[in-house]
Amino acid sequence: MSYLLEILGRGLVSSLRGALQTKLPPVDDLSLPELRSRLAAEPKNEKHALMLGLKLLWDDRFMKAGESFEQVLERDDESIAGLLGMASVHDELGRTEQALIQLNRARLIDVLDPVILFCIGFCCEKLNRMGDAIDAYRASLRACPDLRNCHERLAAIFLRQGKPRSALSHYEQLIEFDPDHMSDHITLANLYLKVGDPESAIRRYEMAIALDPDNWEIQEDLATAYQKAGLVREAIELLHQMIDQQPEFADNFLRLGDLYAEAGDDPTAQAQYERALEISGEYLEAMVKLGTTLLRQGDHVAAAQWFNKAIEINDRLLTACVGLGVAQLQAGRHEEGMTSFELASQIEPNSSLLFSETARVQLKASIGDQIERFLGTSAVAETLDGKREMATLLIDKQIERHEKAVREKPTHADLYYRLGLLLRHRGRDREAIEAFGSAVKINPVYEKALVKLGISLRAVGEIDQAIQYFRKALEVNPDDVRLHYQLGLIFAEKHLFDLAVDHFEKAESGMSDNPDVQANLALALQNAGLTDRAETSWQTTVEMDAEPFTPDVNLN
């Protein structure tokens, strides 16, 4: 489900000036007083007026910037930079209609510029002129066929209009341009299911799963032989030689990081894992190992943030496996569908484990001094069993804190979801089912909670009910599409978004700063792909009140 809803939020831009940045000349490296002095000395110099306007625009002084751009256009009414600068000013001031007028004037001068055409389409979309928006986006694609934002906005419009086949065609084109984009394969698979083509959905899900870097086959080579023989330095030297010959193989950097970690050189291991992620930004194993290395070095915050990113990648693979299973069932391939659900059940514990580790690390970081003193006085805690028991205590403490949080905020779906992950990690499946169930009662389109609920039900033998939730996780109804589409457009208009939030808060509770509205709105933004899930999850974990830690079990 979330991958269909995410379509609605993709391709949005927060401001025209950002989208038009490549079309505007760079600003002279001068201060505002210096630019004003130049213009005063040569008041008819169009370039001086333009540089001053651009400087004011990027300094968020929009009214003054508009005055400068007006001066530019008075001298040259066909100045592309002046027209685009003025369009940007109107956009920042919430004057979409006036911005569109300036963009259309620029289009008459540069008929085939894809960026100008995209911005025209975006303004038309915000003004609910859908026919004009579609025409402008299509014209932009004729000029630049691989412009991702245009394909994404057209897909969003067509999905909103109940035309999933038209939306599907744009993601097919995106995959032609970038066949390694895993999210596009999963989105396309969801669209194929939406139009009743499970066989095509199966192929796309299989491609998405195959793109996981952890599935790359690593052949035995001399470096592996060195490592097995305990010749770590020789293996490191050989891998460096291999990297010199093939510097774009992320696997080699991962293996090199493992070898440095084995040799006790964590800083260098960290650098190798980071390089692997530079090459392959969604390399799950590299994320986990980088987080683990940072954890050993005492950087709890950075470690937890990488674990959160790994959770999102793992959940995406989980969604692909669940989607594959649902597609196979729809295609009448029951046995294969059950196998896919089994694979999903094998992948899911990684998310629960990583989230539990993140929650444990965050709590340990927040009470570091206290727990270090406790560990320092505990002979048992210095043993491996003692450390494991302490880790379990920290997770159980986080469960207690989440249970308290849901009692205090019973309408926050995300709190129930995170409680369910912690309970799953501790093997408390029935309680996890209750927590995930509460999350989806509050937010019926909470795809991750629906998938986790299905996995948990499957774990306790309730297969038919699990499949029902797997199906729900991939469904989306027209009302949800309309809601998330409008949310995306409002979110792109920051000033309107803030006013809308304020309005809903006051309507809900009679006062501002209503946490229930904010929490559920934040989850809706995640559903539409408008916020970074990993970052949001980490911030929510950090913001949870870290009460003093007092172990209720004596380890001595």
CATH number assigned to the domain covering 2-210: 1.25.40.10
Cα–Cα distance, 329 to 352 (Å, whole number): 26
List the Cα angle 434/435/438 in 5-degree steps: 85
User: Each residue of 469-498: pLDDT tens digit?
Assistant: 888 888 877 777 777 777 677 667 665 555
The pTM is what?
0.70
What is the band of 176 on the pLDDT scale with cuts at 50, 70, 90?
A: very high
CA dihedral (94, 95, 100, 102) positive or negative: negative
**Phi then psi dihedrals of residue 108, to 5 deg:** -65, -25
Here the contacts of 521-524 (C-beta below 8 Å, separation 24 or greater) are 522/414, 523/413, 523/414, 523/443, 523/446, 524/443, 524/483, 524/484, 524/487
Contact (CB, 8 A) for 158 and 10 = no
Which DSSP letter does residue 412 get? -
Residue 320 to residues 64, 145, 206, 216, Cα–Cα distance (Å): 51, 28, 8, 17
Cα–Cα distance, 288 to 306 (Å, whole number): 7
The three-state (H, E, C) secondary structure of 452-489, written as one string: HHHHHHHHCCCHHHHHHHHHHHHCCCHHHHHHHHHHHH
Contact (CB, 8 A) for 171 and 297 = no
199 CB neighbour count, 10 Å cutoff: 12
What is the band of 301 on the pLDDT scale with cuts at 50, 70, 90?
A: confident
Domain with CATH 1.25.40.10 in the chain: 2-210, 216-297, 314-556
Mean residue pLDDT of the chain comes to: 80
User: Which two tokens mark 487?
Assistant: 């949310």
pLDDT at 394: 76
CATH number assigned to the domain covering 314-556: 1.25.40.10
Q: Which position has the token pair 């949800």?
A: 480
Burial class of residue 512 in the structure, from the number of CB atoms within 10 Å of its CB (0-12 exposed, 13-18 middle, 19+ buried): exposed
392 CB neighbour count, 10 Å cutoff: 14
pLDDT at 219 over 60: no
Cα–Cα distance, 282 to 276 (Å, whole number): 10
User: Each residue of 308-351: pLDDT tens digit?
Assistant: 788 888 888 888 888 888 888 888 989 888 988 888 888 888 77
Please, what is the angle between helix 334-366 and helix 413-425, to 10°? 100
Contact (CB, 8 A) for 353 and 422 = no
User: Which two tokens mark 439?
Assistant: 């999350």
Cα–Cα distance, 361 to 292 (Å, whole number): 11
Distant-in-sequence, close-in-space partners of 198: CB < 8 Å, separation ≥ 6: 192, 327, 328, 330, 331
Burial class of residue 404 in the structure, from the number of CB atoms within 10 Å of its CB (0-12 exposed, 13-18 middle, 19+ buried): middle
pLDDT at 553: 34
Helix H or strand E segment including 35: helix 32-41
- Selection from 425, 423, 405, 424 nearest residue 415 by Cα: 405
Residue 7 to residues 174, 267, 481, 529, Cα–Cα distance (Å): 13, 39, 10, 8
Classified as helix, coil or strand, 195 is: coil
User: Each residue of 229-240: pLDDT tens digit?
Assistant: 677 787 788 778
Most confident of 5-14, 137-146, 244-253, 469-478: 137-146
User: Which two tokens mark 74?
Assistant: 């008075």
Cα–Cα distance, 50 to 86 (Å, whole number): 10
User: Which two tokens mark 293?
Assistant: 């290395």
Contact (CB, 8 A) for 251 and 222 = no
Write the single-letter amino acid at 188: L
Write the single-letter amino acid at 434: E
List the Cα angle 533/324/156 in 5-degree steps: 50
Alpha helices in 246-383 (DSSP H): 250-262, 266-279, 284-296, 300-330, 334-366, 368-376
513 CB neighbour count, 10 Å cutoff: 11
- For residues 273-290, average pLDDT: 86
- Selection from 242, 309, 536 nearest residue 412 by Cα: 536
Cα–Cα distance, 69 to 476 (Å, whole number): 46
Higher pLDDT, 390 or 318: 318
User: Which two tokens mark 493?
Assistant: 């208009």
Q: Which fold has domain 216-297?
A: 1.25.40
Question: Which of 34-38, 89-93, 369-373, 443-447 is least confident?
Answer: 369-373
pLDDT at 378: 45
pLDDT at 85 over 60: yes
pLDDT at 496: 55
pLDDT at 30: 81
Question: Which of 27-36, 321-330, 453-462, 499-508 is least confident?
Answer: 499-508
Contact (CB, 8 A) for 375 and 381 = yes
Residue 42 to residues 47, 48, 67, Cα–Cα distance (Å): 10, 8, 17
